[in-house]
Structure 1
Amino acid sequence: MVERELQSQKKVKKWLIEDLGYRFLGNKQDQDNTAILEDVLLDNLRKRGYDDSLAKRAVREIVALTKNQQKSLYDLNKEIYSLLRYGFKAKPKPDSKPVTIQYIDWNVVENNDFSFAEEVTVRCLDERYRKRPDIVIYINGIAVCVFELKRSSVSLNEGIRQNLTNQRKENIAHFFDTIQLIFAGNESEGLNYGVIETPEKFFLNWKEDTKAEDQLSISIRELINKDNQPLRAGLISLCHKERLLEIMFHFMIYDAGVKKTCRHNQFFANIAARKAVQENRGGVIWNTQGSGKSLIMVWLTKWIIENITDSRVIIITDRDELDDQIESLFDDVDEKIVRAKSCADLRDLLNSHEARVMCSLIHKYGHDAGKQSDVDAYTEELLKALPKGFEARGNIIAFIDECHRTNSGKLHAAVKAIMPNATLIGFTGTPLLKKDKKTSIETFGPYIHTYKFDEGVEDGVILDLRYEARDVDQNLQDEDKIDTWFEIKTEGLSERAKNQLKQSWTTMNKLYSSGERLQRIAADILFDMNVKPRLRTNRGTAMLVAGSIYEACKYYEIFTAKGFNKCAVVTSYEPSQASVRTATSSLTEESEDEFKKRIYENMLAGKSVSEFEAEAKELFKKQPGKMKLLIVVDKLLTGFDAPSATYLYIDKSMRDHDLFQAICRVNRPDGEDKDYGYIVDYMDLFKSLQMAITDYTSEAFDEFDAEDVEGLIKDRYEEAKAEMVGALNSLSELLSGVPYPQSDQDYIKFFCGESEEERKEDEFTDRRDTLYTLVASATRSFASCSDRLVSHFNYDSAQVKDIRDKIREYNQLKDLIKLASCDYIELKPYEADMRFLLDTYIHAEPSQVLSSLDNMSLTELLVQRNTTTTVDQIFKSIPGDDNSRAETIENNLRHEIVRKLKTNEVYYGKMSEMLEDVIRRRKIEALTYKEYLKAVVDLANSVIHPEEAGGYPDTVKDSEAKRALYDYFNKDEPLTVAIHYAVKGAIEPGWKGYKPKQNKVKRAIHNVLVEFKYDNAEASTNQIAETNEIYDLIQKQVEYDD
């Protein structure tokens, strides 16, 4: 570990001791450690007054569990957590009552021993290897937290990946059986946390709630403010003794095979709600869509049942899907919930004490969710025929889901009529309407906790959204779009095939010009499917919201007619004979009802609607390449279990909450290549784009308070222009460091250094990464706002042309540096999108050959056999002057040689010498241009195709490993072949990581050497040395991998 990492570790040690009062156990590097310090645990149990024999039995019980490695990490961790939370029950004597031994005193913090150790060495499953977490926190000798710390210049993601590697079965998964929180941090990014098996993308940063009023939160904020350094703040927030116990006891959950803990918004929502419940007052919890509202319900329910005397919780929803989801979630987390199947059933449940947690549905059908008639019917049925002496028994807390709806006041009255003493808490993921806000607050009480959309975006819990209004009449007449689509779709096709496709396009174009609106929108979406990176690569999906079931079916017909079959309609429609019994009005024309029935029956292909929808949703979520588009009307637009997508196409008039919830279908994170959710609006829902996107109070969102919806969608043009200006300024500042006269070679030296070693140094790597990021940012943002710079931002055409020329030059410089540094193999996250945008908005592509470098190195390009491109054309296509082009080729050759050198030092050592000779001769002008090109092509051919250029015999040339042995043995063909087949016969799966199998390979090598070179089998010093040398060479050959 370098000094700077040690400094981070020293600081964490200091803060744990001085700020949090932990006891330091020392450095554990020189001993093998386990997850439980038995002596410390036994000593604490004795101090807390437990009988000595019972304390020893409790220690044996938990230690035995950690040694049971037949179970998965998830199952063992769950079992041990249950033991920690609920204690070990044992009888002091056979005839006595059982006693509960608590390993941790959850009520009195001071009764526990909080300690930590550093450099905790742990033996792997393969006992020859060790892993060493930086810091481990123990409570009463039980390991509960693990830290991996990095220096400020190294991403904390490396620490996350290190933690995940350690949890592999073959490493130290057994040490994580007791672990509750896992940390990775550095001084620049702070501290991220997760639990066992948490994927890297779900590790989160904690944030204190400045509005939290409980005494613990106030104390923690005051302590943090003494030295508000990110790493220290995260440590104090999560490892403060009382806070750590709180999270461990109340906020761990095992959800259908996945362990989870709380995000900060879920934690503080619960803390705030507890106070409201204890004071018998209701209120509203507004946590934005996608931020984990359902788990807030689960954790709050559990706390209420455990802490409020005679308490009962009922969850009331107004959608079938939500009712199903809530029941399913409680089942998944092993919490018993009883589902009331009718109002009579609910009355019976309330009139008895048996059920502690219940859920009830307002209406019996999911389609008209939340309509006033449903609430009226629910109220009437709930109150009618109340049995004599009816009383809703117990201390009831009622959760009203989706409390933002207009009818919540009437529902509140109905619930209060049958449960007059209940405390009502409303949950919503969307803002309250201005016209309902006063009523809602009067009904439920004030906001208990809020976590708004922009807060979720800032925390990375949900994604920001990008909005685009499309004018259907203009989009498909755009020749640039058509050309782009055509070039992408015809890449690699013959001219004949291209002509056939052109004919097909001409036919489709007639349909577009017919004025049929749905045809145009469908074709527009198909265009996106073929050019938008996440849709084109089958990583992302889209949803289309149609105006009616008929329109949804029409869309489906259009898509399938165009050959796009990766779509499905999901609506409330059920095809049946009854649905068309009176639908026929003409024997020659199909009615709308008959049309819907025919489309549905063709789509279902014999399956029931429920079976088909379940299959379509599963494919959409898990195999997007097979189901890329769902066409909906009302269904699937709400609920935590509703599928998420990347693009949402809206062709339906929507307002307020319906619109808010619909657009939140695309705000869920889904891998590093999903940066935003995209909203494409065909209905002009945001009449005035400027106002709508600035404060959300125009048209579609005019009924929201502006502060409640701040940050939902950004003005993409304003943001793009700001991003463009910032990127161009940063590029200018970056390039000001290039010394004059700023020739191509000056740029290469500035970004790549003057040697292979310098090129790899962090200084030059970081400098190049900055260049690539800024150029990509400038290109992307200019493409997004270029057509508005004159009309919206008062640029003149000359300024726009100057920016376009600058960006073209920056892209040429980027290509020059990428080639010279051999960075072309590192595809940047936006590379595909950038190529599309460059083609669309910047027409002067610097080189056509560069496109083929996407999947081929320059060295391979020089020697490829399947191209008509000449070497001279390749050379001329490289950015820069002749000297910089030559350096680019030489750097690429050197990179290829260095990469392969370890596999055959003899052969590629000669190649390296030959390259240096070519470079020397070029620099002293001893080679003509033509001779130089021939020399580099010959050298490239020798590097890429040594089997052709190395003069190897037929028995050797077909194998890279045999060629390496042949060169090592100075062209001894029999010995080469003998060693090769001896090694092939000796290797076994996993041999490179297992000592006994490695020794078997070494013995095979030694036996051949004895046969060919040595007089006796006695292992002399020379024999051992040569055997080891050959073994090292063998290990480097990919051919001998498992």
Structure 2
Amino acid sequence: MANVDKERKLQNKVKSWLINDLGYTFLGNLEDQNNRCIKPGLLRENLEKRGYKKEQIDFAVSELTNLTGNQVDSLYKVNKEIYSLLRYGRQGAKDDENNRQTVHYIDWEDIENNDFYLAEEVTALCFDGHSRKRPDLVIYVNGIALAVFELKRSCVSIGEGIRQSLTNQNKEYIQEFFHTVQLVFAGNEAEGLKYGTVGTKEKYFLEWREDVNAKDELSKTIKNLQTDNKLRNGIVSLCHKERFLSIIHDFVIFDAGTKKIARHNQYFANIAARAYIKEKEGGIIWNTQGSGKSLIMVWLTKWIIENIDDSRVVIITDREELDDQIESLFLDVEENVTRAKSTKHLHSLLNNKEANIICSLIHKYGHNAGGQADVDKYLKELLRNLPQDFQAKGNIIAFIDECHRTNSGKLHEAVKTIMPDAVLIGFTGTPLLKKDKKTSLEIFGPYIHTYKFDEGVADGVVLDLRYEARDIDQDLSSKEKVDLWFESKTTGLTDQAKTQLKQSWTSMNKLYSSRQRLEKIASDIIFDMSLKSRLKNDRGTALLVANSIYEACRYWDIFNSLGFTKCAVITSFEPNAASVRTATSDPHQAGEDEYKKSVYDRMLKGKSVVEFEKDAKKKFIDEPASMKLLIVVDKLLTGFDAPSATYIYIDKSMRDHDLFQAICRVNRPDGDDKDYGYIVDYMDLFRNLQLAIADYTGGAFEDYDKEDVEGLLKSRYDEAKAEMVGAMASLDDFLQNVGDNPEDLDYIRYFCGDGSESDADELVGKRDILYSLTSSLTRSFANCCDRLVSDYKYSEKDVDKIRKNIYGYNRIKDMIRLASNDYIDLKPYESDMRYILDTYIKAEDSRVISKLNDMSLVEALIDKDTTTPVEAIIDGLPGDDSAKAETIDNNMRHEIVKKMSSNPKYYGKLSEMLEEIIEQRRIEALSYEEYLRQVVELANSILHPEESGEYPDSLKDSAAKRALYDFFDDEALAISMDQAIRTSLRSDWKRNFQKQRNIQLAIYENLREHSYDEAQATNYVKEIFEIIERQEEYDI
């Protein structure tokens, strides 16, 4: 009985919030009635109040009543039909003037015209006609049941309430009652409120969170109504009348058999984008990988088509897979989308108004889009291909998917050329980093909405990640044999050519590609497959990221030779005759391209690449027991959603966008047995990973305004133009030394000499200058040529002349490289150099360097709110490990400084420890392993000070007591002060000056009781109060 009383008390609280705070009308306790999902009397009453005629009302009520009584079709199908009826209304009979008036069951335009009711203990008959079920609370709008609540006391999980609602939706229970329901709620005061819709599985129920950056008036109103009660806040957020109907009208979708409702990030991204679109301004929506960007597009598209006059939406992607995915999604939700099949087809679609939603690959804007051709030259070609009467019709809003990739000036100019008045909205799951950011902000404008990686983890939308670094030691078994082999195979090459060949084959990537090393990694993975529970039980799968297509193929060969056949290679390689046309330099040995084709031929077994990859991906996602491992290089590292993917093994040097997107392949939830995604790193990527995570959770670039963007624009082009002018002048002056009207032979003699060795060093210096100046001129011209006419008063003739000169300079450079033997064809030496690596580079079994003490990356790197300094990102991070480590050190220092005010003495000690680590690293006294270990220790110290041996046991359970102890260095005083503070605390004290004064008085009196004189006590009050203000456990 006590439990019932507790739940009834909670139910009364919720009733009070809905009735007294949100203005719902109470219908009473309906326990003794056999209730249905519509109350015809209330519906008629509202329709009459809104002026509909009796015949129209009779027809509309009868139509809805008949639909709700459908016991033949599935809940999904009936609910979908009723949703359509509620959203769009029912067209009535013709009136005296032969017009048909639509009867709207709900007035979506004027919220106040609707009647919002709340009923409790709403009994409904089960399918058998005898048994009954009774939802705790039901929201009726105009007599139509739209939301159902199941509430639990705080010691009972709200999962029980969710399962109760799911059970009620079964046919044998009260499925018919849910025919009109749009929102399903479950909650208690400990966990708050979770919501879903009809048919939502328990694991997909969501928790709402208000966006602190939301600027719309409704969000401001709702935030002002909120308190510190999680359950009440959820109810206020979702059941505020205007928000409630907004979610139902604009954020429900029926997607190929599954009814879906928006997450909070999807809702706020849409609301924010609407304001920009109304003002004809563009921007960027950055919502982290796996958080549902495609559905944001769908909901925003629906709103645009319905609310913007003469509107059309053009969705632009840069990869075939994304084009397929988006088209499929729009078709699944029954939105008519037309896919452009070619450039000509795209021009035709834009030139007339028949299609209002168009999906197109970016390369369909012209065959050079995104290539290296100059902007203005490309645009001229594009314009020549447009029909003479071409004009993109309508009010176009263009969505650019994965805009961090398709953000170059060339592609932007292409889109704006054929759709000059379009509003551009960029979508990305990653932020804009370093050089990308400048161009993207110029093109799209500021961030419209952001939802970062750590926010997604906190909401359970994506899983957190665990990291493990593994190392495989390599050694050279016989230096003498290597040298002899090399000299015998390179007879006839110049010393310079030998040096170039050595440099090419002694890179880290080449060393890492030795067969023994790949075999050790493959053995590692096979061992994990039999040991790791998620992989062993055939529910989980793994990705292996190889450094090259050649290495991916070698991995496949190695796995198969070891008896592991449930794997496939998915790369961009096309195993046709053209791919090996010039691959052979020795008829007795297969080159790398021939080897790749051989592996593909054996793997495909007669299937086409498209057919094989489609089958492999399907098995990987739906039948993990039959496809355990996909070996990839670049493909599938973005936009590939496979909840089964649990481990990602990385054997490729990666950073920034590529690294973050890759690790997010394993962060999709997939049942209770998948608690994390796991990263296994064979490439010492921890420092890159730390920086990437900081970039994807930081807010460093959210505050750019238009003036900032304009400054970026001018600065970038000014610098490029200045470099171009300088390089061109220097190159002209330098080539004057060759002579007047020189021929090719004159250039060769000047830069290559007559073959004698006396001036060899001088000639090398001359060639280096030629190569450097030519590269500088080519690069700088590419970066500013699209603005030379408009911004710098060059004529078209001037630009064409510069372009021809650059072509000439590059021809001279290529000619000199060949004539001087500075360029050598490395392919003939490929097999011999591969033999050296495979024969003489030995590899040991892998060993785990660090598991980050089994902390998740969010715990180690994000919960500290670590952000990369703005300056470091804008200027671009230096490429060597030492420079990257300095950035990490800065992040740690930044975090310590932020926490310093909560406990100055403790974090002061950590600051000293950090400085010592930094100094040790700078004098190269720390190895990579040791650096990693100390970073983990420091993160632990920041996150878990209670584990430190510095504190008495009586203080370990309280950060506030520890802060007071560090201040006083007195255990008894710290405990006494904590008790005095807690006794004086009152609710909402941080915003009430008088309540603060009472706390300060309690501090003062406690100090006096411990023999502090009046002056000392007065001086310490302010310092202690500043510390306690920052202690979360004092928040009430």
TM-score of the aligned structures, taking structure 1 as reference length? 0.62
TM-superposed deviation, 1:360: 1.4
For the structure 1 residues 365 and 563, does the alpha-carbon distance in structure 2 shift closer, same or farther, using more than 3 Å as the test? Answer: farther
Q: How far apart, CA to CA, are the structure 1 residues paired with 2:9 and 2:601?
A: 68
Separation in 1, partners of 2:277, 2:300: 10
Report the Cα distance in structure 1 between the residues aligned to 2:673 and 2:318, rounded to whole angstroms.
35
Amino acid of the residue matched to residue 363 of structure 1?
A: H
Tell me how far apart the structure 2 counterparts of residues 518 and 366 of structure 1 sit (CA, whole Å): 41
Partner of 2:194: 192
Q: 1:693 to 1:662 in 2, by over 3 A?
A: closer
Cα distance in 2 between the residues matched to 1:369 and 1:462: 34
1:3 to 2, 5, 9: 5
SS in 2 for 1:363: helix
- The question of 1:652 aligning with 2:652 is answered yes
Alpha carbons of structure 1 residues 35 and 404: separation in structure 2 relative to 1, 3 Å: same
Matched with 1:282 is 282
Partner of 2:852: 717
Q: Distance in 1 between matches of 2:61 and 2:330?
A: 32
Q: In 1, Cα distance between the equivalents of 2:856 and 2:105?
A: 59
Amino acid at match of 1:127: G
Please, which of 31, 35, 38 is the counterpart of residue 36 of structure 1? Answer: 38
Q: 1:562–1:36: structure 2 CA closer, same or farther, 3 Å change rule?
A: same
| One-letter amino acid of the counterpart of residue 409, structure 1 | G
| Aligned-partner SS, 1:316 | strand
For 1:349 and 1:82, the matched residues in 2 are separated by 29
2:346/2:364 contact within 8 Å kept: no
On the 8 A contact 1:320/1:364 being kept in 2, the answer is: no
Q: Which residue of 2 aligns with 1:924?
A: none
Alignment-derived partner of residue 96 in structure 1: 98
Q: Which whole-Å CA distance do the structure 1 matches of 2:4 and 2:471 have between them? A: 58
Given that residues 540 and 646 in structure 2 are in contact (C-alpha distance below 8 angstroms), is that contact kept between their aligned partners in structure 1? yes
d(CA) in 2 for partners of 1:788, 1:585: 45
Distance in 1, Cα, partners of 2:693 & 2:147: 47
The answer for the alignment partner of 2:184 in structure 1 is 182
Identify the residue that residue 416 of structure 1 maps to in structure 2: 416
Give, in whole Å, the separation in 1 of the partners of 2:640 and 2:375. Answer: 23
Query: Does the Cα contact within 8 Å between 2:656 and 2:692 map onto a contact in 1?
Result: no
5+ residue gaps, structure 2: 476-511, 703-849, 861-928, 940-946, 948-1036
Task: Check if 1:332 corresponds to 2:332.
Answer: yes
- Find the aligned partners of 1:28 and 1:20 in 2 and give their Cα distance: 21
What's 1:929 paired with?
none
1:363 and 1:378 in contact (8 A); partners too? no
Partner of 1:398, secondary structure, is: strand
Provide closer, same or farther for how the CA distance between residues 366 and 653 of structure 1 changes in structure 2, counting only shifts above 3 A: farther
What displacement does 1:718 show? 6.2
> CA separation in 1, counterparts of 2:618 and 2:555?
21
State the match for 2:924 in structure 1: none
Aligned partners of 2:375 and 2:413 also within 8 Å: no
Structure 2 CA distance, aligned partners of 1:791 and 1:403? 34
Number of equivalent positions: 688
Q: CA deviation at 1:614?
A: 1.3
Cα distance, 1:378–1:248 mapped onto 2, change above 3 Å = farther
What secondary structure does 2:363 align onto?
coil
Q: Please report the RMSD computed on the Cα atoms of aligned residues, expressed in angstroms.
A: 3.3
How far off is 1:704 after superposition?
10
User: The residue matched to 2:466 in structure 1 has which SS?
Assistant: strand
Counterpart pick for 1:47 among 43, 46, 49: 49
Give the corresponding residue for 2:603.
603
Q: Is 1:105 matched with 2:240?
A: no
Q: Summarize the alignment of residues 841-990 of structure 1 with structure 2, pairs less than 5 Å apart.
A: none
Relative to structure 1, the CA distance from residue 187 to residue 39 in structure 2 (aligned partners, 3 Å threshold; closer, same or farther) is same
1:637 maps to: 637
Does residue 126 of structure 1 match 2:128? yes
Q: 1:397 to 1:75 in 2, by over 3 A?
A: same
Look up the equivalent residue of 1:392 and give its one-letter code. A
Distance 1:666 1:624 in 2: 14
- 1:646–1:371 CA distance, 2 compared to 1 (3 A): farther
Q: What's the CA shift for 1:211?
A: 1.0
1:562-961 correspondence to structure 2 within 5 Å: 562-586=562-586, 588-639=588-639, 641=641, 645-686=645-686, 689=687, 692=688, 695-696=691-692, 707=700, 717=852, 720=855, 793=937
Indicate which of 6, 21, 24 corresponds to 2:23. 21
The change in CA–CA distance for 1:161 and 1:786 in structure 2 (over 3 A counts) is: farther
CA contact under 8 A between 2:643 and 2:668: conserved in structure 1? no
Q: CA deviation at 1:575?
A: 2.4
In structure 2, C-alpha distance between the alignment counterparts of 1:676 and 1:367, rounded to whole Å: 42
| 2:162 matched residue in structure 1 | 160
Is residue 2:544 matched to residue 1:516?
A: no
Shift of 1:228: 2.7
Deviation, 1:331, is 0.4
Amino acid corresponding to residue 574 of structure 1 in structure 2: E
Using the TM superposition, give the Cα deviation of residue 62 of structure 1 relative to its aligned residue in structure 2, in angstroms.
Answer: 0.6
The answer on 1:143 being equivalent to 2:115 is: no
Query: Deviation of residue 252 (structure 1)?
Result: 0.5
% of aligned pairs identical?
A: 64
Per the alignment, residue 359 of structure 1 pairs with: 359
Letter in 1 for 2:560: T
Q: Are 1:64 and 2:66 matched, yes or no?
A: yes
What letter matches 1:670 in structure 2? D
What letter corresponds to residue 246 of structure 2 in structure 1? E
Deviation per CA, 1:427-446, whole angstroms, max 9, x where unpaired? 11101012232332222111
Q: Is the 8 A contact 2:114 2:141 kept in 1?
A: yes
Q: Is the 8 A contact 1:344 1:382 kept in 2?
A: no
Verify the 8 A CA contact 1:433 1:704 in the aligned structure 2.
no
**CA distances 1:596-615 after superposition (whole Å, capped 9, x unpaired):** 22222222222222222111
C-alpha separation in 2, matches of 1:567 and 1:328: 27
- Counterpart CA distance in 1 for 2:251 and 2:51 is 28
Shift of 1:94: 9.4
Once residues 303 and 856 of structure 2 are traced to their aligned partners in structure 1, the CA distance between those partners, rounded to angstroms, is 49
Q: Is the 8 A contact 2:584 2:591 kept in 1?
A: yes
Alignment TM-score, normalising by the size of structure 2: 0.63
Q: Secondary structure at the match of 1:420?
A: coil
Alpha-carbon distance between aligned partners in 1 of 2:280 and 2:292, rounded to the nearest angstrom: 25
Task: Name the CA shift for 1:433/1:268 in 2 (closer, same or farther; >3 Å).
Answer: same
Distance 1:398 1:644, change over 3 A: farther
1:132 deviation in Å?
Answer: 0.7
- 1:40 deviation in Å? 0.7
Do the aligned partners of 1:78 and 1:254 also contact (CA within 8 Å) in 2? Answer: yes
Amino acid at match of 1:137: I
The answer for the alignment partner of 1:951 in structure 2 is none
Q: Which residue of 2 is the match for residue 840 of structure 1?
A: none
Q: Is the 8 A contact 1:180 1:248 kept in 2?
A: yes
2:465/2:857 contact within 8 Å kept: no
Alignment-mate amino acid for residue 163 of structure 1: S
Matches within 5 A, 1:244-255: 244-255=244-255
Secondary structure of the corresponding residue to residue 624 of structure 2: coil
CA contact (8 A) 2:89 2:102 kept: yes
Change (3 A) 1:723 1:260: closer
Q: Measure the CA separation in 2 of the matches of 1:32 and 1:460.
A: 38
CA–CA distance in 1 between the matches of 2:413 and 2:43? 54
Q: 1:116 aligns with which of 101, 108, 118?
A: 118
Unaligned regions of 5+ residues in structure 1, if any?
476-511, 710-714, 726-784, 796-802, 804-1042
- Corresponding residue number in structure 1 for 2:309: 309
Cα gap change, 1:253/1:129 in structure 2, threshold over 3 Å: closer, same or farther?
same
